[in-house]
Amino acid sequence: LNPDAKYYYDGSDIPGQAKMGTWIGEDVPDLARANFRTYKSRDGWAFMGNSSGAFVGLKQLLQKPDRFRAVIANGGEIVPDSPLWKGHQAEMDANNP
Q: Where are the domains of the chain?
A: 20-94
68, 47 Cβ separation under 8 angstroms: yes
Burial class (CB in 10 A: 0-12, 13-18, 19+), 44: exposed
pLDDT tens digits for range 13-56: 999 998 999 999 999 999 999 999 999 899 999 999 998 889 99
Please compute the mean of the pLDDT values over residues 53-64 and round it to a whole number: 92
- pLDDT at position 77: 85
pTM above 0.75, yes or no: yes
Please compute the mean of the pLDDT values over residues 60-85 and round it to a whole number: 92
